[in-house]
Chain A
Amino acid sequence: MKEIWITLATVIVAPLVGGVVTGIDRKITARMQNRFGPPILQPFYDLFKLFSKETIVVSNTQILYAFLFLVFNIVAVVMFVLKMDLLLILFILAFATTALILGAMATNSPYSRIGAHRELISVLAYEPVLIAMTVAIYFVTGSFNIEDILKHNSFLILDLPFIFIAFSYVLTIKLRKSPFDLSTSHHGHQELVKGITTEFAGPVLGLIELGHWYELVLLLLFVWLFFAKNIFVAIAAILICYFLEIVIDNISARLTWKIMLQLTWSVAFGFALVNLIWVYIKYRLL
C-alpha cells in the first residue's frame, strides 16, 4: 500500500520539479545574457500550449514511441524512488532513449533521422560511463539495490570522486546542453531544424517534453545518490552541479560528434576507469 502512494506522489511531483527546474534554468540563462528572461512557470505554459494544439503526425507509430518514451522515464523515476535495482533503472533509461530514436526514425525527414543518428552516438558516448558508475557503486557497497547502497556508512563521493566527475561530464550530454546538444537542444538555437524532435508536433511533442522532465529529475537523483548520507549536502551538491551545467551551457559552443566521442571515451571514461580500478583494489582485493 505504501508503495502505491509513493508511486503516485512521484508521478505527480517529479514533473512539477522538472518543470520548475527547467524554468529556473531558463531564467538563470537569461540573467547570464543580461536579459530579464521568461517567468519561472514558462515551461508549464509551453507544455499546456502544446497539449492544446492540433496533432500532426507523419506516421501513427510516432505517437506510440513518444508515449513509450514518457512511460519508460516515469517507470525509471518511480523505480529509483522505490529504491530498486540501479542496473535495471539504467536499462529502462536506455529503453526510453531507444523509443525516442525509433520515433524519430519512423519518419522520412532527413533532419529527424540525422538527429536520431546523433542521439545514437551520444548513447554510445555516455552509456559506458553510466555502466562504469553502476559497477563502481557495486564494488563499494556490494549491491546494485539502491536500498542497500543507501545503507553505505559514508558518502559515496569519498570513494568515487573521479566517477562523479565522469558522471557530471555525461550529464551534459544527457541534459542535451552545449557543447553536446547535438541531437536536439532545449533552447531556440538549433541546427538540423530541431534534430530528433523535428517531426513531433503539438501534443506528441508535449509528451516528449514531459518525458524530459522526468529524465531530468532522475539525473538529479543520480547526483543525490553520491551525497545521500546528508540531505543538505545532497541538495547543495545538486544545485551546484546543475548551476555548473548552466554555466557550461552558456559559455561553450556546440562541438561535433567526433570530438564528443573522443572526449567522453578518453577523458570521462578514463576517469571512470581509474576510479573503478581503485575501488576494485580497495574493496575486492584487499
Chain B
Amino acid sequence: MLFRKTLKKSPWIVHYDCNSCNGCDIEILATLTPVYDVERFGIINVGNPKHADILVVSGSVNHRNARVLKTIYDQMPHPKAVVAIGACACSGGIFKECYNTLGGADTVIPVDVYVPGCAPRPEAIMEGILKAAQLLEEKKKNIKKGEILNVAKS
C-alpha cells in the first residue's frame, strides 16, 4: 500500500549540539541548506522535540548537558531514533579523556546510528539520518509487539 511505510518517508529531525567544537554543527547546518536539499527525502528540521522523529546529536556529553539531552530525547514521541554525528558524539572523540566528559551520546540515550568523522561530510550525515529513518519502521513494529527497541547499529 502507498501509505504503509510513511515513517521512513518523512523523518523530521531535531538537532542538539551537546558540546561540539562547532565543526560538526556547521556540517549539519550545511546539510540542511538548499545545496543538499534534504527536503526531497521528506526531512524537515523542526526545532521542536515533540514534532521530531530523529534526534541528531553532535559533540561529547558532559555533566551539564546530559540532563538536557535526556529531556529532549524523552519529549519525542515514539517511534524515535538517535543519530550521533562525529567522533565526539560517537565516543567522546578527542574530549574522551577530559575529567568533565562522560563520553559519547550513548552514555545517556540509546544511539541508533553512528556517523563517524571529524567532521563527517554532509553526504554521510544525510545517509545516517536516512538509515535512522529506515529503523523507525522496525521500531514501530516492535512497539506494536509491546517492546521498545533500542538497537545500536553502526
Contact of A190 with B34 at beta-carbon distance under 8 Å, contacts A38-B39, A46-B10 already known: no
- The answer to whether A201 and B34 have CB atoms under 8 Å apart is no
Asked, given contacts A38-B42, A201-B77, whether A30 binds B37 with beta carbons under 8 Å apart, the answer is yes
Asked if B39 and A193 make an inter-chain contact with CB atoms under 8 angstroms apart, the answer reads no
Closest CB of chain B to A103's CB: distance in Å? 14
Residues 246-275 of A contacting B (Cβ, < 8 Å): none
Do A35 and B39 touch (CB < 8 A)? Answer: yes
Q: Is A154 an interface residue (CB 8 A)?
A: no
**In the complex, chain A residues 183-220 whose Cβ is within 8 Å of any chain B Cβ:** 188, 190, 193-194, 197-202, 205
A143 at the interface (CB under 8 A from B): no
Does B53 contact A49, Cβ atoms closer than 8 Å?
A: yes
B131 within 8 A of A: no
Tell whether A56 pairs with B46 under 8 Å between CB atoms, given A30-B37, A45-B3, A48-B6. Answer: no
Say what secondary structure dominates the interface of chain A.
loop
CB distance from B43 to the nearest CB of A (A): 9
Give chain A residues whose Cβ lies under 8 Å from the Cβ of B75: 56
Interface size for B (C-beta < 8 A) is: 27
Which of chain B's residues have a CB closer than 8 A to the CB of A34? 34
A-B contacts at CB below 8 angstroms, number: 80
Known: A34-B34, A198-B50. A45 touches B77 (CB 8 A): no
Contact residues of B with A, CB < 8 Å? 2-3, 6-7, 9-10, 32, 34, 37, 39-42, 44-48, 50-51, 53, 75, 77-79, 140, 143
What are 9 of the A-B contact pairs (CB < 8 Å)? A34-B34, A41-B2, A44-B6, A45-B9, A52-B6, A188-B45, A200-B50, A201-B77, A205-B51
- In the docked arrangement, what's the CA distance between A201 and B14, Å? 14
Chain B residues whose C-beta falls within 8 Å of the C-beta of A188 in the assembled complex? 32, 39, 44-47
Interface size for A (C-beta < 8 A) is 32
Residue ID in chain A nearest B9 by CB atoms:
A45
Least CB distance, B71 to chain A, in whole angstroms: 13
Known: A34-B34, A44-B3. A194 touches B48 (CB 8 A): yes
